[in-house]
Amino acid sequence: MSKLISPSFEAMEALILRLQSTICAELAEVDGGAEFVAHPWRRETGGGGLTRVIQQGKVFEKGGVNTSSVYGELPPGLAEQLGTTPGAFAACGLSIVIHPRSPRIPTIHLNIRYFQLENGQSWYAGGMDLTPYYPHPEDFVHFHRVLHQACEAALPGSYQKFKAQCDRYFYLPHRGEMRGVGGVFYDHLDGANPSHFELNRRIGEAFLPAYLPIVLRRKDEPFTDQDREFQLIRRGRYVEFNLLYDRGTAFGLQSGGRVESIFISLPLEVKFPYNWQAPPGSPYAEMTRYYQPRDWLDETG
């Protein structure tokens, strides 16, 4: 298996561990009421990871900042899903999901990863997206502008392509809507191209400047019981997507990953009321209009 651990793999491992440490420290400082708890784990068939969890904080109700570095044999079914052949593989990545307590602060998700296969194939993948619960369009503009800057610095002209891929990926076809306001998403970027590692690096480093200004702006704003109700209902959409469509969840389960780490993406509290409809003229009705593809760079904010 050591022949699969290339310099690119080692560089990616170093990047994700550095980002995990920095991001956890910054988020814990902003929360001011809870710390990240570390849970190292080992995978029976090779490798392991470090799950870092914050829960019941002042700002963050539940969040995970997880790294994994695993290797072994790729099962035929999973190889088919990945568009390759069975054989030895190595993969490492960073996965983040943060569910805030306040409905005025969005949920955020980030994932960057690297795959390397015995047959010589290797690729980078990743992305970041935002799931808000209250219509603060200036926050959504800020988020997309940071992602635009990160994408264009690594791969000029790539943001619009990766944004469109994100709009398509984080989409609930049975609901006819996106789970949030999008971001960027990319997959199967040639592992031999150093610009693709640079993209993963810049997207990972964009997490804090994309998210923390929103958190700091909104964390002390008052909210109503109705705001909280809408947040819990929309979290249901998040659960639906992760259990029905998320590739990372499927890969983790099919490759023998740690279940508690995989499902750290699910919120602590959620509601599934029957046939709920946003009251006309409410901020929730306005917010639902934003769960469709939109060119945020053309918005003011």
Which pTM value belongs to this model?
A: 0.94
pLDDT of 141 = 98
Query: pLDDT per residue over 246-288, tens digit each?
Result: 877 877 777 677 788 788 888 989 999 999 999 999 999 999 9
- Is the pLDDT reported for residue 106 higher than 80? yes
Q: Which residues are annotated as catalytic?
A: 109
Query: Once rounded to an integer, what is the mean pLDDT over residues 206-235?
Result: 98
Q: Which residue ranges form the domains of the chain, and what is each CATH number?
A: 2-298 (3.40.1500.10)
Q: Are strands 122-131 and 107-117 parallel, antiparallel or unpaired?
A: antiparallel
148-151, Cβ contacts within 8 angstroms, sequence gap of 24 or more: 148/297, 149/206, 150/199, 150/202, 150/203, 150/205, 150/206, 151/184, 151/199, 151/202, 151/203
Query: pLDDT per residue over 158-186, tens digit each?
Result: 999 999 999 999 999 999 999 999 999 99
Spatial strand order in the sheet of 60-74? 37-42, 47-55, 60-74, 87-100, 107-117, 122-131, 183-190
Query: pLDDT per residue over 13-61, tens digit each?
Result: 999 999 999 999 999 999 999 999 999 999 888 899 999 999 999 999 9
